[in-house]
Amino acid sequence: MSCIFCRIVNGEIPAEVIAREPDVVAFLDVQPLADGHVLVVPRAHAAAVEDLSPEAADALFRTVVRLAGPVREGLGAAGTTIGINNGEATGQTVPHVHVHIVPRWPDDGAGTVHTIFPRRTSRTLPDVGAAIRKAIG
Ligand code: AMP
Ligand code: ZN
Three-state SS across 11-39? CCCCCCEEEECCCEEEEECCCCCCCCCEE
Q: Which of 35, 94, 97 should be mutated for ligand 1, with most atoms under 8 A from CB?
A: 94
Q: How far is the CA of 127 from the centre of ligand 2 (A)?
A: 37
- For the CA of 37, the nearest atom of ligand 1: 10
Q: Alpha-carbon distance 5 to 45, whole Å?
A: 8
- Contact, 80 vs 102, CB < 8 A? yes
Q: How far is the CA of 78 from the centre of ligand 1 (A)?
A: 24
Label residue 69 by pLDDT band (50, 70, 90). very high
Phi/psi for 7 (5° steps) reads -70, -35
Label residue 76 by pLDDT band (50, 70, 90). very high
List, by residue number, the catalytic residues: 98
Whose atoms come closest to the Cα of 3: which ligand? 2
Q: Is the pLDDT of residue 1 over 80?
A: no
pLDDT tens digits, 29-52:
999 999 999 999 999 999 999 999
Neighbours of 95 (CB within 10 A): 16
Task: Give ligand 1 pocket residues (Cβ under 6 A).
Answer: 4, 15, 29-31, 39, 85, 91-94
Nearest CA to ligand 1 atom 17: 30
Q: Alpha-carbon distance 58 to 42, whole Å?
A: 10
| Local structure of 108: helix, strand or coil | coil
- Contact, 97 vs 49, CB < 8 A? yes
